Amino acid sequence: MKKINIKHIILVGLFFSLMIFSGCGTTQSSSYQVNLEIWGLFDDSSIYDPIISAYKDINPHVGEIKYRKFTTDSYDSDLIDAMASGQGPDIFLIQNNWVPSFSSKIEIAPDTIFRDTQIKNNFPDVVYSDFVNQRNVYGVPLSVDSLALYYNRDMFNAAGITSPPKTWEEFNECVKKLTKLDENGNIVQAGAAIGTAYNINRSTDILNLFMLQNGVQMVNDQGTKATIDVGVVDSQGDVVKAGENALGYYAQFANSKSPLYTWNKGLHYSLDAFAENKVAMMFNYSWHIPTLRAKNEKLNFSIAQVPQFNEDNKVNYANYWGYVVSKNKKSFMTVNNQQVEIPNEIRVYEAWQFLKFLTTANNGVFTLTNARTGTIKDFVVSIDPAVEYLKTTEKPAARRDIIELQKDDSVIGAFAYGNLIARSWFQINPNSIEKILAEAIDSLNRGSSSIYDALSTANNRIDELMRDSNR
C-alpha cells in the first residue's frame, strides 16, 4: 500500500470545507471576512490602532480587529476560562515560558506564513528555543526582554567607581566598596539588591541567570526530568557542582557572615530601595524604567549589561511575551442576512497572517494570501508595524534588524544586546517553579538547609511537576 500523505488529506478537507463555506454551486458570494480579537497586556489599544488601520486598508478579508488590554493579576485564568467556553480571543499574549503549559490551546503557524527558518534568521536564538518545537512555530514576539544591571551613578561616583562591572569578580569588588554598615552591623547603604527571595523583584530570574551562566542544564533533553542538581563537566574535564555554585553564590550576599554581605530580608523591596537611593545596584528588565522614573524622577541611574562568569561565553536570561493563535474559537460572518460559521482553518490563517504583518519586516510591500483561493497579491504599506510599536513603547526589539539599531541606545542598548545572548529553559509550570526556587533561596537565608539540600529538594519538586504533567 502507498503511504498516505497527511498534508494532502488536510488540504483536500480544507478545500471541501471552503467550498461549502463559500456557497460553491450557488449564488452566494465566495468572499469572506474574519473578525479578530486580540488579548494583550501592558499596552493600550491606541498603540495598535494605526497598525490595525493600516492592515485593514490592505486586507479586505478581515473585518473588525479588536484589541483588549488585561491586567496580569488574573490574565492566565481569564484566558483558560474564556477558551473553555469557546469565547476566547483569536490572538493572545503568553509569556515565553508558558508554551509547554499552553501548547494544547495554541494553533501552530501554517508553513506558508511562518517557517521555523524565518524565526531563526530574524529573531534572537531564545525566540527559536521558546516558540519553535519540532520546526513548528507556536508564537512570535514584538519585543524581547532580558536582565540588565541598573546602577546608581551618584553612589558609583562617590565610591570612585568609574564604570559598571563586566564580570562577577568586578561586581564583588563593587559590592564591597558600595556597602555601608553602621556600628551595629546594620546595612545603611546596600551595594546590591541580591541574595534573598521575597524582597527582590524577579529574584528567581537572577538565580536562573547564575544557573545558566554556570552551564547548568536545567532539564534533560527530553524535557521530562529536572537536572539542576546534576554536575557539569568543565573545560578541564572535571565535574563541577554548577547548580550548587550558582545557588550558593546568589545567597551569600544575604549572609551576614559573608565578606560580600550587602542585603537582608528586612530591607525595603528592591525597586523601592533603588528609587530611594538605598541600594546602588539591582538587576531587572526594561519594563521597570518607567516604574523607577515614576517613583523618583530625579533618580540618577544608568543601565549596563549583566556581568559574566566567562566573557568568552556570555549568557543572559530572557523574560518576555509573544503572540499566539488560539486553537479553537467559533467565528461567524453574515451572508444573505444569515450567520454562517467561518471554518477554523480560515480564522487561523487570517490570525497568523496578521501576526506576520505585525512582527516581520515588510520593506514597503506586504504579500497577502487569500485563504480560500490561495491567490497571492502584493500590497504597498506605509509603515513597518514592529518599528512603529517599538518607537511608541520604547521597548527592546525582538527582530534582529531592529536590535542592531538599538544596541548603542543609552537607555535600552543593554537590553537589546542582552537579547542576543539570552536564554531560557523548558518550564512545565512556571508559577510553581518560581515558588520552588524562591523557597530554596529562603531556606538558605533562614539557615534551615544546606546548599546541597536546598538544591536537591528543589530539583525533586520540579521533577514531580514534570512527572505529573506526563501522566
The 10s digit of each residue's pLDDT in 375-419 is: 999 999 999 999 999 999 999 999 999 999 999 999 999 999 999
∠ CA 151-155-157, rounded to 5°: 100
Which three cell numbers, joined as nine digits, stand for 21? Answer: 463555506
Banded model confidence at residue 138, pLDDT cuts 50, 70, 90: very high
pLDDT (mean) for 303-325: 97
What distance in Å separates the CA atoms of residue 49 and residue 27, rounded to the nearest whole number?
A: 36
Task: Categorise residue 294: left if φ over 0, alpha if ψ from -120 to 50, beta otherwise.
Answer: alpha
Q: Kindly tell me if the per-residue pLDDT of 102 is higher than 80.
A: yes
On the 0-12 / 13-18 / 19+ scale of CB atoms within 10 A, 71 is: exposed
Interatomic CA distance for residues 437 and 250, integer angstroms: 12
pTM (global) more than 0.75: yes
Whether 368 has a pLDDT exceeding 50, the answer reads: yes
Of the chain, the percentage scoring pLDDT greater than 70 comes to 93
The secondary structure element, H or E, covering residue 50 is: helix 45-58
Residue 198 confidence (pLDDT) above 60: yes
Residue 441 has pLDDT above 50, yes or no: yes
Average pLDDT for 340-349: 91
Q: Is 239 helix (H, G, I), strand (E, B) or coil?
A: strand
Residue-wise pLDDT for 48-72, tens only, equals 999 999 999 999 999 999 999 999 8
pLDDT band at 336, cuts 50/70/90? Answer: low
Task: Determine the average pLDDT of the residues in 74-86.
Answer: 86
Q: What domains sit in the chain, N to C, each tagged with a CATH number?
A: 6-138+339-393 (3.40.190.10), 148-317+428-469 (3.40.190.10)
Report percent pLDDT > 90 for the chain.
Answer: 81
Cα–Cα distance measured from residue 260 to residue 192, given in angstroms and rounded to the nearest whole number:
10
* Radius of gyration (C-alpha) of the chain in whole angstroms: 25
Specify the pLDDT at position 471.
60
For the segment 336-361, the average pLDDT, to the nearest whole number, is 91
> Residue 127's closest CA among 436, 433, 403?
403
Indicate if the pLDDT at residue 361 is higher than 60: yes
pLDDT score for 11: 40
Query: Lowest-confidence range among 216-220, 271-275, 276-280, 466-470?
Result: 466-470
Predicted pLDDT at 43: 96
* Mean residue pLDDT across the chain: 91
